[in-house]
Structure 1
């Protein structure tokens, strides 16, 4: 499929119309871990990789939602000018629609956003859902939570705000590196998110992290099985 821009953003601000795709089986492997962020976080600790944020900071809008997919990134900043003047002049700097337009099935929208205002709303969530995105991670505010819940599009955000970003936000880059509360996220990095938090898995280390996560999950399953069988605590398989 040929991808094109919609003209909402200077073409120079779009790093690429494509993002690196994960190798076959990688996404399915992370999904098979189930409630995975704890296991993945432990593995990233052992590998000295910083890339995990708690659910208390990035709160999910849909309880029980779990997503795994490659990052499709958007970077926002504050739009110059007073919001009232921008509104009267119809100066709308938001352009996450360009990311929606180039999304592929299974992508996760990751927005480095502006605090205090909404960086995406319900219609944007519905567009993302239709384009095949499975959810969004937003540093900053989002709104229309009931709408995004209704269409089954989970969002992990640091804030909720009804204040529109339309006259307050300028999108300055799509498909480039972003920073989510100090963590660098590149297009194509693997996002693993659930009720507990969000793991940003560097794509170049993803296969290694998955392999070690599988081993750790098997070890934890063995401990749980031993507990169910009544094995004394002193005899449980090692947790290290």
Structure 2
């Protein structure tokens, strides 16, 4: 049993000690076998990692200018809390980008830990410089006004092929993004930490020349 004093401590520990692949293995073992986002959801800069509570956002394409086109997205960003990760479902739209540097600046000021979007982003040079963890399917400079609008937030969404509910844990690194359902987090995190420990021991055995079969039989991880 692993006890954390706060979400911040838990997420910092996960960031420092875990990685997406091992978390994916653990949620798989618990029967949640569709928690890895599609492989096109990628970090936009080298070394980006994100871990925090999902704050889902749903968008829809539009084909005319609407009143206050940025208003709902502004409201969503202003609703973020410390340790949140915005998870934006654009339904894989390529008409416009969803995210840029000013939104990232506002989100960081609210204490958010990053964003995952199944669409495109822009201002990548600035976002990279500020190291705001950002995962997306691509980069595109075109503005959203008259092309897309936020229609709901803090609601369940399908992002990257995974159902994401408010409060689920989002973990992303170079291997991709995995979603830990909130109801499984107390099982997943200690099991993932245990698996990393066993993998480290198995790796040491392999470096000493132990056969893979013998090391696997001893530690039961791969």
Q: Counterparts of 1:198 and 1:133 in 2: how far apart (Å)?
A: 17
CA contact under 8 A between 1:26 and 1:207: conserved in structure 2? Answer: no
1:125 to 67, 92, 104: 104
> Which residues of 2 match residues 171-210 of structure 1 at below 5 A?
171-210=150-189
Aligned residue in 2 for 1:238: 219
> Which residues of 2 match residues 84-163 of structure 1 at below 5 A?
86=65, 92-93=69-70, 95-113=72-90, 115-116=93-94, 117-163=96-142
Unpaired runs of at least 5, structure 2:
1-5
Give the secondary-structure state (helix, strand or coil) at the position aligned to 1:96: helix
Stretch of structure 1 that moved more, 95-104 or 118-127: 95-104
Unpaired runs of at least 5, structure 1:
1-21
Cα deviation for residue 223 of structure 1 reads: 0.3
Give the secondary-structure state (helix, strand or coil) at the position aligned to 2:37: strand
Aligned residue in 2 for 1:40: 23
Aligned residue in 2 for 1:62: 45
1:77 to 56, 60, 83: 60
Using the size of structure 1 for normalisation, the TM-score is 0.80
Using the size of structure 2 for normalisation, the TM-score is 0.86
RMSD: 2.1
Aligned residue in 2 for 1:52: 36
Cα deviation for residue 235 of structure 1 reads: 3.2
CA contact under 8 A between 2:41 and 2:160: conserved in structure 1? Answer: no
Following TM superposition, where does structure 1 have runs of at least 4 consecutive aligned residues deviating by more than 2 angstroms? 22-34, 93-96, 227-235, 237-240
Equivalent residue pairs, number: 211
